[in-house]
Amino acid sequence: MNKIRTATAAGAGAMMLALSACSSGGTTQAADLSAKPDYSGNLSILTAGAGDPMSSYFENLVKDYEAQHAGVKITLTQETDDNAIKDKEKVLIGSQSLPDIYFSYAGNWGQNFADNGLAADLSSVIAPGTPWGSTFGVGSLDAFKYDGKYYGVPLYNDAKFMGYNKKIFSQLGLGVPKSFGELISDCSVIKKAGYTPIAFGNKDGWPGLHYLGQLLAYDVPASVRQSDLQPKTASYSDPGYVEGMKQFQQLVNSCTGDGSNSNGVAYTTAQQQQANGQAAMYYQELIEFDSVNTKGSELSKDGFGIFQLPAPDGAKGDAATLEAAPEGYMINNRSKNAALALDFLKFVTNQKNASTLSAPPYGQPSAVKGAVTPQNATPAVVDGTGMVNDAKSTVVWLDMANVPGVADAWVSASEGLVSGSLTPEAALKSVLQASQKAKP
């Protein structure tokens, strides 16, 4: 299951159609989370963990919970991540048969459940400062926060970091850059030494979005970005958008090996360039660390370190925010066994089960603080997880944060900025037009 996870706009659009199909004129009583769990009840659960090795993780959780509560019967359904889970949830929404507990992405995908009354409001039990909520990083919880309320239980973390080759940096007398300008300057030193400064492949569109997402979080105030995520309030008039796009193009042209031709390069090629010591850096997800820093690789011999993409000097947004996208689970707001569902999710996220999730063969860095340790994870994963848990605020990937049509426009904008076929001004205009078209 160690792969790049992205929520496509097409899948989100399909869910919106299903939500429209299942809308009813009546009202539904919200799930009662304050009741005592009925340990003679039934639970239905839908995960995105089908396939090796993750399917056995959830199967074992179910067996252990049923063993502790002999009267409980759990029906477990597992789908693979991304399109399969989206298609399954679309069908279940349309037939009004969502299970008691179901998988959700952060961002717009989860917001659809919350906005349509299908996800229970968990604020009373998981908001920061509550006993259970305090076991998670604030940023992970906020990824499932919509209109001031908390709807999701983050299971595992993912975030974006610049991975770097310690030997190359040491040979060239470079330290971890403290600003975006310093990073660009370092690229020229690295290039002169015969290395690719930053491995980059944008064939799939989303790698460029990850740069843009982090840079725009630095350059545009959070309140403005939040307003622009909603088509009914979006204006995209803040100058930070164009500034962030210019910085992205500067990085592509100054730091990558293929420059404007990077749209023809796969991200797996970039991974390999880092792993074999050709590239000094590669902007990668937390869940990628162990797939590039493999035993016996040149990178492993040279030493693998990470740092957060540094913010530009004078940036008008939040210089401390981290691009991160945990994945997690929601409780059906119509569940008759909501209290039991809540009890099961607390069981899933106790320290023991969270540590098991983080360790081989699963290797998914739990969102529970203290679950990822040097005993069950590599040093870089431990460091990255700690940085996610310590983050005061996070932003999810641009294609996950936006409504479907706007997400598509951002992918096209990323590709156009890389190739040079779009200026930052033209790219932003295309995003605004998509947002205006998506107005309700």
At 11 the pLDDT is 52
**DSSP conformation letters of 345-362:** HHHHTSHHHHHHHHSTTT
CA distance 90 to 66: 29
CATH code for position 235 = 3.40.190.10
- pLDDT band of residue 8 (cuts 50, 70, 90) is very low
Q: Which residue has the tokens 């990085």?
A: 251
Report yes or no on 426 lying in a domain.
yes
The answer to the question of residue 273 being in a domain is yes
Q: Looking at the domain assignment, is residue 55 inside a domain?
A: yes
Bond before 361 cis per omega within 30 degrees: yes
pLDDT attached to residue 351:
98
Greater confidence, 5 or 369? 369
Q: What are phi and psi of 432, to 5 degrees?
A: -65, -40
Is the confidence at residue 199, as pLDDT, over 60?
yes
* Domains contained in the chain, number: 2
Tell me the pLDDT tens digit for each residue of 220-276: 999 999 999 999 999 999 999 999 999 999 999 999 999 999 999 999 999 999 999
What is the helix (H) or strand (E) element at residue 425, kind and residue range?
helix 424-437
Regarding whether 61 and 40 lie in a shared domain, the answer is yes
Mean pLDDT of the chain: 93
Sign, CA torsion 87/92/94/100 = negative
Compute how many other C-beta atoms are within 10 angstroms of the C-beta atom of residue 327: 25
Residues 58, 102 within the same domain: yes
Q: pTM (2 decimals)? A: 0.91
Residue 10 pLDDT more than 70?
A: no
Separation of alpha carbons 63 and 58, rounded Å = 9
Q: Residue 4 falls within a domain, yes or no?
A: no
Would you state the pLDDT for residue 19? Answer: 58
- pLDDT above 70: percentage of residues in the chain: 93
Spatial distance between the Cα atoms of 262 and 257, rounded to a whole number of angstroms? 8
Q: Is 346 within the bounds of a domain?
A: yes
Q: Report helix, strand or coil for 339.
A: helix
pLDDT, position 15: 56
C-alpha span between 324 and 326 (Å, rounded): 6
Residue 26, pLDDT above cutoff 80: no
Closest of 430, 431, 206 to residue 323, by C-alpha? 206
**Cis peptide leading into residue 53 (ω within 30°):** yes
* Residue 23 reports pLDDT greater than 70: no
Give residue 2's pLDDT.
Answer: 40
Instruction: Report pLDDT for 16.
Output: 55
DSSP 143-185: TTEETTEE--EEEE--BEEEEEEHHHHHHTT----SSHHHHHH
Mean pLDDT in residue range 357-375: 96
- pLDDT for the residue 30: 82
Is the model's pLDDT at 159 over the cut of 70? yes
Estimate to the nearest angstrom the gap between the alpha carbon of 115 and the chain centroid: 20
Strands 73-78 and 42-47: parallel
Q: What pLDDT, on a 0 to 100 scale, did the predictor assign at position 25?
A: 40
Q: Are 402 and 229 in contact (CB under 8 A)?
A: yes
411 and 315 belong to one structural domain = yes
- Judge contact between 119 and 331, C-beta under 8 A: yes
Q: What is the pLDDT of residue 21?
A: 45
Same domain, 233 and 223: yes
β-sheet bridge partners, residue 154: 328
- Indicate whether 108 and 222 sit together in one domain: no
Residue 173 has pLDDT above 50, yes or no: yes
Instruction: Tell me which amino acid residue 80 is.
Output: T
Which class for 148: exposed (0-12), middle (13-18), buried (19 or more C-beta within 10 A)?
A: exposed
Q: Are residues 229 and 188 in the same domain?
A: yes
Least confident of 206-215, 245-254, 278-287, 392-401: 392-401
pLDDT at position 5: 46
pLDDT digits (tens, 9 = 90+) for 46-104: 999 999 999 999 999 999 999 999 999 999 999 998 789 999 999 999 999 999 999 99
Q: Which helix (H) or strand (E) holds 400?
A: helix 398-401
Same domain, 291 and 233: yes
Is 284 inside a domain boundary? yes
Q: Is the dihedral of CA 417, 420, 422, 428 positive or negative?
A: positive
Asked if residue 246 and residue 173 are part of one domain, the reply reads: yes
Residues 349 and 292 in one domain: no
Do 28 and 106 share a domain, yes or no? yes
**Whole-number pLDDT of residue 17:** 44
Instruction: Examine the pLDDT at 18 and tell me if it is beyond 80.
Output: no
Q: Map tokens 């790049």 to a residue.
A: 4
Confidence of residue 22 (pLDDT cuts 50, 70, 90): low
C-alpha–C-alpha distance, residues 264 and 203, integer Å: 5
CA contacts within 13 A on the Cβ side of 275: 17
Residue 51: count other Cβ atoms within 10 Å of its Cβ: 14
225 shares a domain with 317? yes
The pLDDT tens digits for 27-52 are 456 889 999 999 999 999 999 999 99
Q: Are 381 and 432 part of one and the same domain?
A: no
DSSP H or E run through 388: helix 379-390
Q: Model confidence over 206-230: pLDDT tens digits?
A: 999 999 999 999 999 999 999 999 9
Evaluate whether residue 2 is within a structural domain: no
Listed in sequence order, the residues at least 6 apart from 109 whose beta carbon sits closer than 8 Å to its beta carbon are: 7, 11, 12, 15, 86, 400
Between strands 279-285 and 145-146, the pairing is unpaired
| CA geometry: angle 37, 38, 42, nearest 5 deg | 115
Q: What is the pLDDT of residues 106-125, one digit of tens each?
A: 999 999 999 999 999 999 99
Query: What pLDDT is recorded for position 83?
Result: 85
Query: What's the pLDDT at 55?
Result: 95
- Whether the CB-CB separation of 335 and 120 falls below 8 Å is answered with yes
Where in the sequence is the domain holding 407, given as residue range(s)? 160-322+403-437
CB atoms within 10 A of CB 40: 11
Concatenated DSSP letters for 253-280?
HHHBSSGGGGGGS-HHHHHHHHHTTSEE
Task: Please report whether residue 199 resides in a domain.
Answer: yes
